Structures are given as C-alpha cells and as structure tokens.
Amino acid sequence: METLEQIKNRAELAVRGARIDIVVNPGPAQQSSLLIDNEHAIAVAQFLCDHPALRFDYCSNATGVDWLDRVVKKTAKVKQVKEGVEKEVGQTTEEKIPGYLEAVYHLYSMKHKHGPLIVRLRTANRSEGARLPSLTPIWRSAELQEREIFDLYGIHFEGHPDLRRILMWDEFVDHPMRKDYREPDDYEWEPTPHDDVLEKAKEHYAPRPQLDGAENITASQ
C-alpha cells in the first residue's frame, strides 16, 4: 500500500480544493490517519474507492469519538535579556481547543488486498445538531455503523438513507457514549429493565404497604 503522504497527495490533486491532514497516532499501533474536510469528503471518498491504484472498496468499521474541550500546554524556548545577558528560557503557553466529534472509518481494498486506510471526519463542535456527510453512498457497509454513531454520539449524517436509532429505543434522550453523559436516576421507563438496571428502577417504584398478621391470614385464604 502507498504511504499516507502519497495517498494524501493523490487525493488533493484529484479533488480540487480538498483539505487533507495527516493525524499522527503516537500509540503502540502507530496507525496514523487522514482527516478530510467535510465539504470535499464525498468526492475524496469516491476517489479512494475508485482509483485503480488504491481501490479502497470495503469499509470494515466506522466508529465515533468524542473530544471534550481541552487545554494543551506548549513549551518553547525564547530569548530574554537578564542583567544584560541574553539567555534562552522556557516559556509555557496554553491553547484552548474546543470540543468536537469524529467519525472514523477503516478502509480496505479487497481487490489489491491492502489496508487499513483510516480516514476521519470532524464536526465543528459538540452541539446536538452536529453534522457530517454520510459515506454510506460510497461504502454501503457503513450504513448500520453510521446509525450506531448517530445513536450513541449524536452525529447527524447528511445523506444517510435511513438515519434512526439502532440500539436505544426511539423515546430515549441523550447519547450514551458521549464523555459527559450521565445515567438517569429513573429507569422506570426502560422497556426491559434487568439486573442492576432493575434494582435502580425499583428504587423509584412506590413501596407496597406492609400487611399486619390478620391481613396476611386473610390474604393467604
């Protein structure tokens, strides 16, 4: 398989105006990815699928990621003059990065037997109406997985053929995989409460009145 840099260059040359960044993964897997701008995501995805040297014709997995607001500290060397002597000292600055949501796709080529190529789409923010273009028109295997991302993270995929909840019931409010999600105290309305969920639900049920001895005898008869 070609390098990420080569694939990035091919796509940017083929799709005029596309903005693609390489997101480096410093973890053990070291699976870096391509971040594609939303405006050109469909065109770039079509290129990755159709180009004869690439032919990423299969999406094996799509998942969501929730990034909360965070502060990144950066340290740089700056020159300062102290007591008439110029010295290099470390200066720390803080950068506030607003939160966003991501959809991450793992692509393979069944034709050339290479991959994975990991591509990302990123929302502007974490609002309830956060939107991304659906890649289901390119890779049909993404249909149910984008529904899952919509259900659990709240990303609305524009152009999806059947965007609705797939794990939670229709009346459910909120998105359980978001990092700031808090479980509700009242589980009374869960369709099938069980185990620890059932125990929590019982805490909200009205307690039954205790019967005295005579009432117990009458009830047993």
Say if residue 128's pLDDT is above 60. Answer: yes
* Secondary structure of the chain as H, E, C letters: CCCHHHHHHHHHHHCCCCCEEEECCCCCCCCCEEEECHHHHHHHHHHHHHCCCCCCCEEEEEEEEEECCEEEEEEEEEEEEECCEEEEEEEEEEEEECCEEEEEEEEEECCCCEEEEEEEEECCCCCCCCEEECCCCCCHHHHHHHHHHHHHHCCEEECCCCCCCCCCCCCCCCCCCCCCCCCCCCCCCCCCCCHHHHHHHHCCCCCCCCCCHHHHHHHHC
Predicted local confidence at residue 219, as pLDDT = 45
**Matching residue, tokens 């005295």:** 212
Say if residue 217's pLDDT is above 50. Answer: no
Say if residue 189's pLDDT is above 70. Answer: no
The verdict on residue 92 lying in a domain is: no
Residues 218 and 109 in one domain: no
pTM of this structure: 0.79
Provide the number of structural domains found in the chain: 2
Predicted local confidence at residue 120, as pLDDT = 98
At 138, is the pLDDT very low, low, confident or very high (cuts 50, 70, 90)? very high
The verdict on residue 95 lying in a domain is: no
**Taking all residues of the chain, what is their mean pLDDT, rounded to a whole number?**
87
| Separation between Cα atoms, residue 197 and residue 216, nearest integer Å | 31
Omega before residue 116 within 30° of 0, cis: yes
Could you tell me which of 37, 29, 42 has the C-alpha nearest to residue 160? 42
Say if residue 117's pLDDT is above 60. Answer: yes
Say if residue 25's pLDDT is above 70. Answer: yes
Residues 108 and 214 in one domain: no
Say if residue 220's pLDDT is above 70. Answer: no
Please, are residues 184 and 199 in contact by the beta-carbon 8 Å criterion? no
Please write the tens of the pLDDT for every residue from 159-186. 999 999 999 988 888 999 999 998 776 6
Q: Determine the structural domain holding residue 109 and report its residue range.
A: 4-67+101-172
- Terminus-to-terminus CA distance in the chain, angstroms? 79
Residues 118 and 142 in one domain: yes
Q: In one letter, which amino acid is 117?
A: L
Residues 155 and 114 in one domain: yes
Predicted local confidence at residue 188, as pLDDT = 55
Residues 145 and 213 in one domain: no
Predicted local confidence at residue 206, as pLDDT = 56
The verdict on residue 78 lying in a domain is: no
Sign of CA dihedral 37, 39, 40, 45: positive
Say if residue 221's pLDDT is above 90. Answer: no
Radius of gyration of the chain measured on its C-alpha atoms: 26
| Separation between Cα atoms, residue 108 and residue 176, nearest integer Å | 29
Would you tell me the crossing angle of helices 41-50 and 4-14 to the nearest 10 degrees? 110
**Matching residue, tokens 């007591």:** 83
Least confident of 44-58, 65-79, 104-118: 65-79
What percent of the chain clears pLDDT 90, i.e. is strictly above it?
Answer: 62
Predicted local confidence at residue 107, as pLDDT = 98
| Separation between Cα atoms, residue 1 and residue 32, nearest integer Å | 14
The verdict on residue 77 lying in a domain is: no
Predicted local confidence at residue 210, as pLDDT = 58
pLDDT (average), residues 52-67: 97
